[in-house]
């Protein structure tokens, strides 16, 4: 399986993988046209992390408009992410949806606190 195919598969499930864009950034960088493909420790760790994430059976909940809901967000120079959680009947928070985006080169220059 080529790296692009793997990333396509992983990207299909990205809404179930918290911080997907950050976890996939080193692999995504290797697929750029002008990038020299060099498989080293960091891309290997990124690949193994995503592979593990894809094999974990997610504990997902369907969105319930009646349930208590909260949103978690996170941002750093390399990416932004968010998760929608809802309180289940078991009194535990369950993941309903997650989203992430790798920052562009321009966005990495924006100061954040």
What predicted TM-score, i.e. pTM, was given to this entire model?
0.58
Q: Are 98 and 82 within 8 A, CB to CB? A: yes
Q: Give 37's pLDDT tier (boundaries 50, 70, 90).
A: confident
54 pLDDT tier (thresholds 50, 70, 90): confident
pLDDT of residue 59: 64
Residue 49: is its pLDDT beyond 80? yes
Gap between the Cα atoms of 28 and 20, Å rounded: 11
The tokens describing 92, both together, are 């535990």
d(CA 42, CA 5): 19
Q: Is the pLDDT of residue 70 over 90?
A: yes
Convert the pLDDT of each residue in 5-33 to its tens digit.
889 888 888 877 888 888 999 999 888 87
């Amino acid at each position: 399986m080529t790296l692009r195919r793997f990333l396509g598969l992983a990207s299909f499930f990205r809404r179930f993988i918290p911080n997907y864009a950050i976890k996939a950034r080193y692999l995504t960088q290797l697929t750029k046209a002008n990038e020299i493909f060099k498989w080293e420790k960091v891309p290997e760790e990124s690949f193994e992390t995503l592979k593990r994430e894809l094999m974990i059976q997610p504990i997902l909940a369907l969105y319930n408009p009646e349930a208590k809901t909260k949103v978690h967000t996170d941002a750093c120079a390399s990416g932004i992410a968010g998760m929608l959680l809802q309180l289940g009947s078991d009194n535990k928070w369950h993941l309903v949806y997650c989203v992430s985006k790798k920052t562009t080169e321009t966005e990495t220059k924006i100061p954040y606190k």
